[in-house]
Structure 1
Amino acid sequence: MLAGCGAEPEPNAAESIVLHGNAEELIVPKPAPEANIANAVAAAAPAVNLAPDGLSVALTGGATRLVPFGMPREAATQMIAGVIGNPIEQGDNQECGAGALGFASFREGLGLYFQGGKFAGWDLDGREGGRFATAAGLGIGSARTQLESASKVEIEDSTIGIEFRAGGLSGLLSARDPSGEVTNLWAGVTCIAR
């Protein structure tokens, strides 16, 4: 009987209680301090990872969804848009070496290419400080030595610059020496002008 006269128990520090008239209690998380929110968002933010056979989307909570080459155009575009926002430009390019290709360009330099209505390739440049990388951490700004530690690298001078091929990926380096950095990356069918 005395238990009923005591002070109300304090809610858990991680929860707060909200009452709506005669409705039952609704327990919702208390907001975390701003510094913790920023760290949690950065750690849990969905991401797009580059791969030689497509892309993968790492979702909040650790789940991963593949966006493989051969996926229908609309589905591939929607999956990437769901993580990094809508494309800034979409269309078709009739003047690609591989023939007519559809494309969807996203912020941070990521472009998707489509052939016959299917996802066929991607490319990445350093616009807006692109944050995309492979599972091995290769991305714009990676050093040639990092490329070489991940796989065998073939380098040649081409009409578009110092071109490399490594583990199913292609791209450009800023210099031939070990300090050269990746400036562009691509895989699959793309519209790289040579």
Structure 2
Amino acid sequence: MNKMILLGATTLLAALAGCKSETTTNASTIVANEAADLTAPAPAAAGANVTAEINPATPALNLAPDELTLILDNGSARHVTFGMGKETATTMVSSALGNPIEQEANQDCGAGKLDYAAFREGLSLYFQDGKFVGWDLDGRENGKFQTANGIGIGMTRKALEAAAGKVTVEESTIGQEFMIGEMSGLLSSAAADGKVTNLWAGATCIAR
């Protein structure tokens, strides 16, 4: 009888140990998979066919007063925040928009010397001392990029005020300039049907 009880207890302990091991393994796998979703794709190996799409779904890009946000196909987000290193920020935005069409330095900016990377869709990133410090969007891609609450190029002043609440509009040396907190832009006119033509945030090189 004692041997039978001991054997039963040993079998039960082994079963419990197996369950615990399986649970731990599954949890580790889930965490690893979630981390992989937030990792930038590795560069293609030398000689690889770079025209083939490894990931056919490119991230969507949203605007914010202190960053750019990449929304992945699975719904997770990668934040390109002000203060991030130039190379990292440029690589992350390139995953959504392709490589920059121009990368230069401008000595004549109000904030001092700024490096910039311009992309085809009208978006430019600005860098100072190797850090991402601002972005600028013109009207070449009407409505392609927006903030989380729908503010983007092409919307009317009336729609802008409905989305943002308080909007300050004043005539400046560059036109009808508006401010929403830490984000600014231009309107085609101060009228209710005037449209947003430019958006920017952070340190940029807007000519005044």
User: What TM-score bracket applies, with the shorter chain setting the length?
Assistant: 0.7 to 0.9
Cα shift readout 1:46-85 (whole Å, capped 9, x = no counterpart) = 2110000110001111110000100000000000001110
- Determine if contact 1:81/1:87 at 8 Å carries over to the other structure: yes
Indicate the residue corresponding to 1:178 in structure 2.
192
Aligned to 2:88: 75
* CA distance in structure 1 between the aligned counterparts of 2:178 and 2:188, rounded to whole angstroms: 11
Deviation string 1:154-178 (CA, Å, 9 cap, x unpaired) is 1111111000001321000011011
Q: Could you tell me which of 140, 143, 165 is aligned with 2:179?
A: 165
Deviation of 1:151 (Å): 2.6
- On the 8 A contact 1:147/1:166 being kept in 2, the answer is no
Q: 2:203 aligns with which of 166, 189, 192?
A: 189
The alignment partner of 1:127 has SS state of coil
Task: Out of 125-134 and 83-92, give the one that drifted further.
Answer: 125-134
Q: Which runs of 5+ in 2 are unaligned?
A: 1-55
Q: Which structure carries more helix by proportion?
A: 2
Amino acid at match of 1:63: S
Q: Give the Cα–Cα distance (whole angstroms) in 1 for the partners of residues 82 and 165 of structure 2.
A: 22
Unaligned runs of 5+ in 1: 1-40
Structure 2 length-normalised TM: 0.70
Q: Which has the larger radius of gyration?
A: 2
In angstroms, what is the RMSD of aligned CA positions? Answer: 1.3
Pick the structure with more strand per residue: 1
Q: Match for 2:59 among 33, 42, 46?
A: 46
1:121 counterpart residue number: 134
Could you tell me the TM-score, scaled by structure 1's length? 0.75
Displacement after TM superposition at 1:129 (Å):
3.6
Return structure 1 stretches of 4+ with deviation > 6 angstroms: none
1:1-194 equivalence runs, <5 A: 45-129=58-142, 131-149=144-162, 150-194=164-208
